[in-house]
Amino acid sequence: MPRDSSVNRRSFLKAAGGAAAAATLAGCAADPDETTSGSDGGAGDGGSNATDGGDGSDGGSGGDVLTYARGNDSGTLDPQNTTSGEDVKVTNQLYDQLIMFKPGETSLRKGLATDWSLDGTTTTLTLREGVTFHNGEEFTAADVVATYNRFVNPDYEHYPGDDYTSAYGPFTLGNWIEEVTTDGEYKVTMQMTQKYAPFLRNLAMFAASILSKKAIEEKGTDLKSEPVGTGPFQFEGWDTSNQRIRLSANDDYWGDAPQVGEVVFTAVAQNSTRAQTLDSGGADIIDGIGAQASKVVSNSSNAELVEKAGINVGYMAFNMAKVEEFQDKKVRQAISYAIDTKAIVDTIYKGIAEQASQPIPSNVMGYNDDLSPYGQDLDKAQSLLEEAGYGDGFSFELATFKNPRAYNPSPIQAAQTVKSNLQEVGIEVSINQQSFNPFLDYTSAGKHDACFLGWMTDNADPDNFFYALLHPGISTDDVPDGQDYVGFDTEDFNTLNVAAWANTDYMTLVEDAQTTYDEATRKEKYNQAAQLAHDEAPWVFIDHAKELRGVANGVEGFTLAPISGPFLNLVSLN
């Protein structure tokens, strides 16, 4: 999460479906009448010895049409104009990044750059030669400079405006890059504002997709409906009334050539209907699958359910800036012991998630294996409340979104469980249900007492959890003495930190890890940060959700990718 205070929670999360990564908050429905969306993605380590993405020599497109059914249509096809995971599913077929994620893995591979290095505050990249944009223009260093300027430089002649460019501009590039320069047509140097360990992973995020300089100059904001990239598929048409987007194979693609002639993205709002569409042969791949829809797919003789550990976290945050009781660690721990998160995960989420013990899931570097989830212990909870002086209980409001998300597929039922559990230790909970966009406004403003939320990573770097969600975004010097929280009105406050937690020991750990390039050192610092977060309990850690996809029997080569993707150029139809 950038330190720029202009990048707030609503900017990141307001789009239904979130953003592919940090902000791709995909929903998995428990109610078949609820709409939802899903995401593909991945992230990882990189370096000059990364594997190549292919040279297009294998395979080739045929006349087959691959149909991908999802919960919602796209809103734009410009990667610099979106925070929506639905948009990214399509733009990832049309655009490439300098560095790219290996399909289904958390490591990097060569993309439009074939070699790179990160040395202190300087990143240098050697670009791939012989790559052509869909408009016929050759890809060169000038396109990289134009892409950067168009996204984050208001003085650039073709900057489309603050209202057009997404919050990912500063987060991905702007906060970390001071200047982009070229050395010939195939060398780029990025001078950074500070040492920043996750930077190479940022270059692989969807928001860092490379645009054509000529298209930037000729099309401007029309790129949202007339995309021009270097990706494996090229844009053919968008039937907005029927929510269908058609792409055709780019047979000149520099990487692994598409195995199908066309891809059609179509929207089917209800989870159960989408699963039935797959079963009946109306779709080849579907996402946005909750517990009920997963049963439909599992029981189908025409498709299979594909699952993989997600890179996300679901939690209940305590607003320490607003509720005095939450300012006492013993109260926060007591509530963590009182809530039966195991029952929520096993019974309500029905096995599509696992209990959480810390801010990151086990497939992210820095995960602390020594930590265990808080187990329900009502006696211990009552004892801690009495020690804190709240043995007779108190009351608070729990704010929650109505629509299901991947990390919380049944938010209302989960909230009711929390209310019932806490009633047993004398704490009265009132539930405030809101639609997602108003809910984000509400929590961004700090109006909640406690709230359900979650996060699906942008780049699988621990910083994208530890800093983005639990660092207040201010200096440790600005935290009042003897206090481990700050107000939402604090200058430069990071509104993603809905707990308003400001533990200076934790802040120092994650700041040091952010600027440390040695992985072993970073891992140890995040281990310590995870222990602090677990013990101080600014959240009730609830779950890490699985990624689920439905895949027709005739589909071959599909790889479920929790970050980036879907990699549809690798898919063929039998």
Could you give the CA distance from residue 112 to residue 52 in angstroms, rounded to a whole number? 10
Q: Does the pTM exceed 0.85?
A: no
DSSP string of 137-187, one letter each residue: PBP-HHHHHHHHHHHH-TTSTT---TTTS-THIIIIIITTEEEEEESSSSE
Task: Summarize pLDDT for 202-219 with one digit per residue, the tens.
Answer: 999 999 999 999 999 999
Task: Summarize pLDDT for 83-98 with one digit per residue, the tens.
Answer: 888 899 999 999 999 9
DSSP-derived secondary structure letter, 224: G
Mapping DSSP to helix (H, G, I), strand (E, B) and coil, where does residue 322 land?
Answer: coil
Residues of the chain below pLDDT 70: 1-63
Q: Are 539 and 317 in contact (CB under 8 A)?
A: yes
125's enclosing H/E stretch is: strand 122-127
- 300-304: list long-range contacts, CB under 8 Å, 24+ apart: 300/275, 300/550, 302/278, 302/552, 302/553, 303/278, 303/279, 303/550, 303/551, 303/552, 303/553, 304/550, 304/551, 304/553
Could you give the CA distance from residue 387 to residue 379 in angstroms, rounded to a whole number? 12
Print burial letters for 356-382: b (CB count within 10 Å at least 16), e (below 16). Answer: bbbbbbeebebbbeebebbebeeebbb
3-state helix vs strand vs coil in the chain, percent to 5: 30, 20, 50
Print burial letters for 246-278: b (CB count within 10 Å at least 16), e (below 16). Answer: bbbbbeebbbbbbbbbbbbbbbbbbbbebbbbb
The CA distances from residue 458 to 106, 202, 343, 453, in Å, are 11, 8, 29, 16
Sign of the four-CA dihedral 340, 345, 348, 351? negative
Helix ranges (H only) for 231-364 are: 271-279, 291-298, 329-338, 341-343
Could you give the CA distance from residue 61 to residue 476 in angstroms, rounded to a whole number? 56
Task: Summarize pLDDT for 133-186 with one digit per residue, the tens.
Answer: 999 999 999 999 999 999 999 999 999 999 999 988 987 898 899 999 999 999
Could you give the CA distance from residue 416 to residue 544 in angstroms, rounded to a whole number? 20
Mapping DSSP to helix (H, G, I), strand (E, B) and coil, where does residue 196 land?
Answer: coil
Could you give the CA distance from residue 132 to residue 136 in angstroms, rounded to a whole number? 6
Token digits of residue 481: 């003495």
Q: Are 425 and 561 in contact (CB under 8 A)?
A: no
- Residue 72, pLDDT score: 85
Amino acid at position 302, single letter: N
Q: Which of 13, 15, 25 is nearest to 405 (CA)?
A: 25
- Residue 63, pLDDT score: 67
Q: In order of start, what are the domains of the chain with their CATH numbers?
A: 312-547 (3.10.105.10)
- Residue 171, pLDDT score: 79
Mapping DSSP to helix (H, G, I), strand (E, B) and coil, where does residue 446 land?
Answer: coil
DSSP bridge pairs for 293: none
Q: Are 196 and 176 in contact (CB under 8 A)?
A: yes
